[in-house]
Amino acid sequence: MFAELRNISVYYNKSMAIKDVTINVPEAGVVSIIGANGAGKSTILKSLLGMVPIREGEIVFDGESIGDLETAERVKKGIVLVPEGRQLFPYLPVITNLKLGATVRRDRAGIAESMEYVLQLFPRLKERLKQNAGTLSGGEQQMLAIGRGLMANPRLLCLDEPSVGLAPIVVEQVGEVIQDINGRGISVLLVEQNAHLALGVCQTGYVLEVGRVVMEGDRETIRCSEIVRKAYLGG
Ligand code: ATP
């Protein structure tokens, strides 16, 4: 498997955030993790990036155990996070926010190629390169956060609740963007409360409840399951 979290547990002081979580992401696949507020979705992504200490378990990326690597080293290997809440620099222009995504890279030609792809994917950003990020609409800010992630040249792009606060039509656009990115061979790990988005784009899904995986399977299995229909798809 391309990326694997094997039996990961994370605690914040004494309180358990995730317990014995195993997630597999195949090369060039899209995997979604669906869960309610506080289920532990962000913690899973943070453990993959090395932003929280793991108490138990192992993380393997492209055949290598990476659990001891610093976050920056993991980013260099191609694991990139588009964080919850976007975390942009609101008083810096769009172009600077994008370039900041590439600070781990030294390959100038590759950086230029990524920029070209990002601006082709997000023409609205191209029209607003000099505008401060904080003046963009919510949807544009989410696109900018994804664009900044792409500037790091990900092999596995991790998206933390990109749908939050967006109108349904914009959520749909986020889904299309994820498909475009995946079409370039980039694997995607998406965590979402919005099951429509999560199940619209993934091949495999996981359902997380109170820090534990309670269900996993291909997208149709998850979509048709009783828990997901009742709790996430409105019946
Ligand atoms: P949300 O959608 O609200 O972001 P989530 O599914 O991403 O939720 P996490 O943010 O991973 O959930 O949180 C999982 C649990 O760990 C929650 O009970 C949360 O309160 C707790 N938690 C998260 N971060 C910390 C922290 N830094 N210190 C203490 N507890 C934390």
Nearest alpha carbon, ligand 1 atom 3? 37
- Ligand 1 pocket, residue 40 CB under 6 Å: yes
Residue 101's nearest CA partner among 183, 55, 157, 48 is: 157
**Helix (H), strand (E) at residue 191:** strand 187-192
Mean pLDDT is lowest, of 28-32, 96-100, 221-225, for 221-225
Q: Which of 13, 15, 19 to mutate to test the pocket of ligand 1 (most atoms within 8 A of CB)?
A: 15
User: With a 6 A CB cut-off, is 57 part of the ligand 1 pocket?
Assistant: no
**pLDDT tens digits along 159-204:** 999 999 999 999 999 999 999 999 999 999 999 999 999 999 999 9
The β-bridge partners of 79 are: 156
- For ligand 1, the distance from its centroid to the CA atom of residue 122, given in whole angstroms, is 31
Q: Which two tokens stand for residue 49?
A: 């990036």
* Rounded-to-integer distance, Cα 160 and Cα 79, Å: 13
- Global pTM? 0.96
Rounded to whole angstroms, what are the CA distances from 79 to 50, 127, 152, 187? 10, 29, 9, 10
Q: Whose CA is nearest to atom 8 of ligand 1?
A: 38
